[in-house]
Amino acid sequence: MVDLAEAGKIARVEVGSLVVYVITDFELLHRVLVESSADYERGLLFERIRLIFGDSLIVADGQRHNDIRRLLQPAFHRASLASYAPVMRRNADALASSWQPGQIVEARAAMLEVVIANLLGSMFSHEPDSEEIQLISGLIEDIGAGVMVGSVLPKRLANLPLPVNRKFFAAGTRLRDYCRELLVARRAGGERRNDLIDILLDSSEEAGHDDEFLVAQAMTVLFGGTDASTAALTWALYELSQHPEVASKLRQEISAAGDLGPNDLDELDYLNRFLNEVVRTHSALLQTRRSVTTVELDGFTIPAGTDIGYSLTAIHRNPDVFAEPDVFDPDRWPTSNSGSKCRSFIPFSMGKQMCIGNNFAWVELQTTLYSLLSKWEFLPTTNKKLPRALGPIPVPGKLPLEVRPVAG
């Protein structure tokens, strides 16, 4: 994806019989996602997702997307985030307290579990047991792999009973059943928690939404809120294990700040610059749109129905914007109070496609790392290249790290 920029601002890529035009230039991408967004629809990846998510935010376009987003937005307001932060802090503290000095922890699995617990505890007011977390972990992974593989398979293969397809559809069915059970239980209990489930149930009374619609939105939040945050936290721990000088600087900042509340973590300037660098370096590999009318891009006429791809990874590794883009360097980012922003830095996408949970995710990253780094150092256990797991953001399939107590 990064090397495609050498072919030009738009690169024609063939995957078997499938042709995708990949945008490698930020200004062209801004035109597609922001300036002329009405000329495009979701596209290739989302056709696959629609098979199990149905009428949900993650696949809706146009006015339908706007309506669903408006419905769900209160769950992500600042006041709601303030109530979620203690849940995240509690889960991170519990994880940190469960480790022993010198223990080898499988970091990706641990991050996946804490992210799922955060989502269920905050958005759904539900405290999952370990069996539930393991169930959801497996379902999320099977859906993510099925989306990526199924999107590039020829149509004649996409629905055949291949193992990846069977797992994809089975996981979608089971996740749907799980979310339906949560909704039904809340309705039967009659409790008010002022969370996502209450918002959905209220909408069924006010706007006449049926349960299948409500379940689809719950699935979207649970799936969409898991993969990216898990990837970011996993890569954060990896980078800390590879860059002890960065880890030392972070620990010093956290130690000097004292016992901060979960709503005060914006004060940790270096932590936020570190997180900027994590999500710059490890971004979504491929996202898609599709032209709904004939459009002009960079002098080319692109007919309606053309599949268009773009890679945030490639945008964030453009050497014309980010000097030495393959070097992990939190100090490339200005301090938080400088007011300086990089227009080409879009870890949560932009325009109407910007992730609805971007602020939720950032609070989660801050809170989890603050808690873990207050207690532990992370050391690598191998120099071998780690195999990657399938998913929207490439991530190590497993990340074994040794934990050692923070001195003092």
CB 197 within 8 A of CB 218: yes
Q: How far is CA 221 from CA 12, 48, 58, 332, 406, in A?
A: 33, 17, 9, 32, 35
pLDDT in tens, the chain (408 residues): 889 988 889 999 987 677 899 999 999 999 999 999 999 998 877 888 888 998 999 999 989 999 999 999 999 998 899 899 999 999 999 999 999 999 999 999 999 999 999 999 999 999 999 999 999 999 998 998 888 777 767 667 767 788 888 999 999 999 999 999 999 999 999 889 989 999 999 998 888 899 999 999 999 999 999 989 999 999 999 999 999 999 999 999 999 998 888 778 988 999 999 999 999 999 998 888 999 999 999 999 999 999 999 999 999 999 999 999 999 999 999 987 666 678 999 999 999 889 999 999 999 999 999 999 999 999 999 888 888 877 778 899 899 999 999 985
DSSP string covering 79-107: HHHHHHHHHHHHHHHHHHHH--TT-EEEH
For residue 268, the 8-state DSSP code is -
Whole-number pLDDT of residue 60: 92
380 vs 382: CA distance, rounded Å: 6
pLDDT per position as a tens digit, 183-213: 999 999 988 998 999 999 999 888 889 999 9
Sequence ranges of the domains in the chain:
3-405
pLDDT at 339: 60
CA distances, 78 to each of 74, 82, 84, 144, 308 (Å): 9, 6, 10, 29, 34
Given this model, what pLDDT does residue 150 score?
74
**Does 342 show up as a binding residue in the annotation?**
no
Across 30-45, b (16+ Cβ under 10 Å) vs e yields bbbbeebbebbbbbbb
User: Which residue has tokens 């799980």?
Assistant: 178
Task: Provide the CATH topology of domain 3-405.
Answer: Cytochrome p450 (1.10.630)
pLDDT of residue 68: 94
Q: What pLDDT does residue 247 have? A: 97
CA pair distance 300, 283, nearest whole angstrom: 28
**pLDDT score of 163:** 85
